Structure 1
Amino acid sequence: MHLGFRASTHQEDADARQGGAPGARTHTPALPPTRLRLRLRLRLRLREVEECLAPSRPEGGRTGIPWAAIQGGSGPGREPGGAASMEALLLGVGLLLGAYVLVYYNLVKAPPCRGIASLRGRTAVVTGANSGIGKMTALELARRGARVVLACRSRERGEAAAFDLRQESGNNEVIFMALDLASLASVRAFATAFLSSEPRLDILIHNAGISSCGRTREPFNLLLRVNHVGPFLLTHLLLPRLKTCAPSRVVVVSSAAHRRGRLDFTRLDRPVVGWRQELRAYADSKLANVLFTRELATQLEGTGVTCYAAHPGPVNSELFLRHVPRWLHPLLCPLAWLVLRAPRGGAQTPLYCALQEGIEPLSGRYFANCHVEEVPPAARDDRAAHRLWEASKRLAGLEPGEDAESDEEPQPVDPGVPSSLSSPHPEEPAASEPYTSPQSSPDLSKVTRRIPVKAEPEPQAS
């Protein structure tokens, strides 16, 4: 390959310094020394490039690929090593692609929930449903015709999410109610407001959770409070309505991190300091989710209320990047897109536990990838589960005589409502007029239906 350049001779360089051409007089002015040096250096570089790109002649007379140029050197003696390097490079790329295919089909690609149950006339509560897995879960429930309550901490984000879900699902029965799981008083206030305004509760999905305390410093274990104690208290307060509307289901979103958990009952509520303690506290809270689900299934046996722990898989959600330094986001976001599931994929296992037919005998079990999965011995210890139940009652501020038994009368059920969650309904949910703006959403008293029920106790301070 020839680029059309040739290297200058010493005589030409001398003529250039004198401002003339070889063998002829010229009136061209002499170049400044700086420009002359740059010009000479450029010519030398062009000659080196021309030599590197020239086709090599290996043994046998055939023109070959200039492996020496690829390796940064010259000469036929380096061609075999260059060919071996190229083969190793291609082999490495093939292995990486194969590994990614295995990771994608085993971790990233989630099996879809194939439950066909219609939820018309049913009511579902999804905590932390303003984004990520919770929002995708609520969207699917709304598409099936359910009345969906988004229980979120931020009013602004919760109302915006409710507006988006109403628009996307065509179901106007999607509302927001305030709930802060870190505050036991907020949990009690939510339960009181819900029981006084909603006649049914068929599905309760505990999706909200945190993976780090951030900059918050509380005099208690914030990770355990939000991930376990708050959901425990909320379930306890809503159990009367769940039993009244049986068959009903409770889904607790856990994590594979529970396998690293080791509960220390002598220091359950101690404050968490430092990232190492946060990692351990997060794993402990996920183990508490699995043990709570196991004990809850024992407590509810024969009531028609079933419960399941669900692992959504590795998901690219706000929980993943919320506590990562911002300067790492440009590096981690592309990697997360490659190897983590989208929130819609992460919602499939919780939806499976909430909608799938015939899994009632598996109440209390742990599910991953829409299949029941065995857990380590620490997560199936019945004595530890019962001990955690009693400790959670104390941490939640439940009085010794305060239980979850209900004396309220069963609520009337519409004749058109199916008698079981697993009963498919042939009709699709009817579309409704969309709301105009999230800012114009009416307040809670206008959104929810006010149906008189037995008066509930006033919320107690935690």
Structure 2
Amino acid sequence: MLMSNKTVIITGANSGIGKESTIALSKMGAHVVLACRDTAFGKEQHANEVIADIKKQLPNASLSFIPLDLACFDSIRNFVIRFNQQHSQLDVLLNNAGVVSLEKRQTRDGFELTMATNHLGPFLLTNLLLPVLINTPKSRIVNVSSKAHAKGKITFSENRIKTRRPYMGLATYADSKLANIYFTQELAERLKGTDTTVNALHPGGVASNIWPDSNGIIGIIRRHIVKKLKTPAQGAQTSIYLCSSPDVEQVSGKYFYKKKLKQTCARAKDKATQHKLWQVSAECTQLNNEELKQPS
């Protein structure tokens, strides 16, 4: 099978696109590590329930669970320690998990929740996993971004990513998706000369648990929009493609939609902001020079 003897980490594997990606890559023969919170929220399933569900369909599926909370830097570091204790290779890292917080919320590390979960967390996780990724032949990193990145803007204040004032949840989500694009492009530059690629994607509008339940007019609009959205299985197709297809084996630093190469917005081509975001993200996550992949 296409993914036989491959090890894959999928963040947010217990719902939506992440769960569908887990099912698809398991069918291809991969061992999938479900990287998600140990406590299910809202409509999420616990990872062990997801594993049981998949095993009913695919009795031979190779699946495991390591707890991960992308909003907590200690949780990320503990995840990497446990993964490295259990595995000596990592063929694919699918940074899939994401949130939208309509109210301004802060993580225990002191960062705005949406940016921390959607960008800073994956930034830290990816950098800590780079040694095993680089040592695995033809490994891939896949970042789930969004076309919402075109509405995003990254600015800085005292070596931190500036949060919009007044706080706007959807605008902050767009900012975090632009950060995903900058991160993908900068990391691709730093991975030149290695056997590891990194790409980003827009999954399309998907009816998933990322969008919080709301009352009032926002809730009415949300329910109306959800009826027109893709199913998670449809939204997962480009993620699955970038994780597994031989067609993109040598492609890196690019942005995809519907399995096709697409252009990012003009703002995403701002190299100065891209470089600055990397530096600020490294400071925020307290990565030291030994843990950071330097430009080749």
TM-score normalised per structure 2 = 0.89
Q: Is the 8 A contact 1:126 1:206 kept in 2?
A: yes
Alpha-carbon distance between aligned partners in 1 of 2:219 and 2:154, rounded to the nearest angstrom: 32
**1:395 correspondence with 2:274:** no
Shift of 1:155: 4.4
Match of 1:195 among 81, 84, 102: 84
1:202-281 map, 5 Å: 202-212=91-101, 214=103, 216-218=105-107, 219-266=110-157, 268-270=160-162, 276-281=167-172
**1:186 correspondence with 2:186:** no
The CA deviation string for residues 386-433 of structure 1, in whole angstroms up to 9 with x for no partner, is 22111111011112444348xxxxxxxxxxxxxxxxxxxxxxxxxxxx
Number of residue pairs matched by the alignment: 286
Q: Which has the larger radius of gyration?
A: 1
**1:165 correspondence with 2:54:** yes
Amino acid corresponding to residue 181 of structure 2 in structure 1: V
The CA deviation string for residues 289-313 of structure 1, in whole angstroms up to 9 with x for no partner, is 0010001111111211001101100
Alpha-carbon distance between aligned partners in 2 of 1:354 and 1:400, rounded to the nearest angstrom: 29
Q: Name the residue aligned to 1:149.
A: 33
> Structure 2 unaligned runs (5+)?
41-45
Q: Name the residue aligned to 1:106.
A: none
Alpha-carbon distance between aligned partners in 2 of 1:257 and 1:311, rounded to the nearest angstrom: 9
The CA deviation string for residues 309-361 of structure 1, in whole angstroms up to 9 with x for no partner, is 011000011113x2422897677546522x11000000001111111223244
Alpha-carbon distance between aligned partners in 1 of 2:156 and 2:106, rounded to the nearest angstrom: 21
Q: Name the residue aligned to 1:325.
A: 215
Q: Which has the higher strand share?
A: 2
Match of 1:368 among 239, 257, 260: 257
Amino acid corresponding to residue 22 of structure 2 in structure 1: A
**1:350 correspondence with 2:239:** yes
Structure 1 361/150 Cα, relative in aligned 2: closer, same or farther at 3 Å?
A: same
Q: Is the 8 A contact 2:90 2:136 kept in 1?
A: yes
Q: Is the 8 A contact 1:220 1:271 kept in 2?
A: no
**1:121 correspondence with 2:121:** no
Shift of 1:169: 2.5
Match of 1:134 among 18, 32, 52: 18
Shift of 1:180: 0.4
Q: Name the residue aligned to 2:43.
A: none
Shift of 1:204: 0.4
- Indicate the RMSD between aligned Cα atoms, in angstroms: 2.2
Structure 1 288/331 Cα, relative in aligned 2: closer, same or farther at 3 Å?
A: closer
Shift of 1:214: 4.5
Q: Name the residue aligned to 1:336.
A: 226
SS in 2 for 1:164: helix
> Structure 1 unaligned runs (5+)?
1-116, 406-462
